[in-house]
Structure 1
C-alpha cells in the first residue's frame, strides 16, 4: 500500500510518501511546499492545492493521511491552518484519494512511542524507521510520520471493522443506548 502523508500549514506544507507491506516500510519521496507569504490568501491556498494535486498525481498513492487541526491559543492562526487543511483536502479529493486524519498525539505515539515527542525525536525515528541516509526536514518528517502512523493504524482499523462493523458503527451505538457515544 502506498501512503501519502500531509502535514498542512499555510507557510510550509510537508508531504511524504511511503510504501507499506505488513510491518515493512519503504521511503518513496518527501518534501516541503513553501508558500510565498506576500501573496493574498486565496493565491497561497491555490499554491497548496496545485502542488499537492501534482504530488498526489505523480506519487500514485493508494491512501492519504493528514494531521488533524488542533485548537491553537490564537484563533486566527487556527482558522488559517484550517483553510490550509481545506486546500490540502480538496487536492486529495480531486485526485480520488480518501483521507484518514490523525491527531498530533496519535502520530507521535505511533512513531516515537510517546505522545509528547519533540520535533527532533520525530525526525530521528522517521530516519530510523525508513532507513534514510539523512535526517528529513521538519515538515517533511512530520508528513512521513503521519504516513507511518496510518501504515500502523489502518490495518488494525480494517480488521476491527471486518470483525464487528455493528460495534464500531455510531448509528448502532445510538440505537442501542439512545445516545451517541464517541
Structure 2
C-alpha cells in the first residue's frame, strides 16, 4: 500500500487530501480538509500557518509520496505571486521531510479525473466524490487536493506498467 498526499496550494486556503493505493490498484480515501490561512496577522503569518498545518498533516498521516498542483498564470500578478509563494512554502514543508514530490498542471489533473482538460470545478468535485465513494458536497480546495492525489495514483500506475519513472510516464518529451 502507498499513501499519497495531494496538495492544492492557495494563499487563503490550501487543500489537502490523502488517499491510499492498495496493491491491486484500488484507491481509498483517507483524509481531506482545507487548511484555512485567513485570520493571520499578515501574509508571512499565513505562510507560517501553511508550513505548520502541512507539517501536522504529514506527521499525523505519514504519506510516502506527495503530489502538488502547478501554478497557473492568473490575471492579477499580485495573486499569482502570492499563490507561487504559498506553493513554495508547501513544497518546502514536503522536502524538509524528505518526501518525493510530483507536480501536475490543472489541465492534467482535470484530464485524469474527468477525462477532459477543460472540465469545470464542479465536475472535478463530482468525479472525486464518485471515485472515492464520498457522500455530500466536498469543499472545493480539499476536493482539488484529492484530485491531485488521484492523478498521481493514475500516473504512478501507468509508470509501473510501462516500467518507467512516474515523471517519464506523463512527459510528452
Q: Structure 1-normalised TM-score?
A: 0.85
Aligned length: 166
Where do residues 72-87 of structure 1 align in structure 2 (5 Å cutoff)? 72-87=74-89
Where do residues 1-182 of structure 1 align in structure 2 (5 Å cutoff)? 1-21=2-22, 22-37=24-39, 39-160=41-162, 162=164, 182=173
3-state SS of 2:14 partner: strand
Q: Deviation string for 1:64-91 (max 9, x for gaps)?
A: 0000001112111111100000110011
Query: For 2:110 and 2:34, how far apart are their aligned partners in 1?
Result: 19
Structure 1 stretches of 5 or more lacking a match?
A: 169-180
3-state SS of 1:64 partner: strand
C-alpha contact (below 8 Å) 2:25/2:157 kept by paired residues: no
Structure label with greater radius of gyration: 1
C-alpha contact (below 8 Å) 2:110/2:124 kept by paired residues: yes
Q: Structure 2-normalised TM-score?
A: 0.89
| Higher deviation after alignment, 37-46 or 23-32 | 37-46
C-alpha contact (below 8 Å) 2:6/2:66 kept by paired residues: yes
Query: For 1:18 and 1:162, how far apart are their aligned partners in 2?
Result: 22
Structure 2 stretches of 5 or more lacking a match?
A: none
Query: Displacement, 1:97?
Result: 1.0
Please provide the CA RMSD for this pair.
1.8
Question: Residues 38, 2 of structure 1: CA spacing in aligned structure 2 closer, same or farther, 3 A cutoff?
Answer: closer
Query: Displacement, 1:134?
Result: 2.2
3-state SS of 2:41 partner: coil
Question: Residues 121, 162 of structure 1: CA spacing in aligned structure 2 closer, same or farther, 3 A cutoff?
Answer: closer
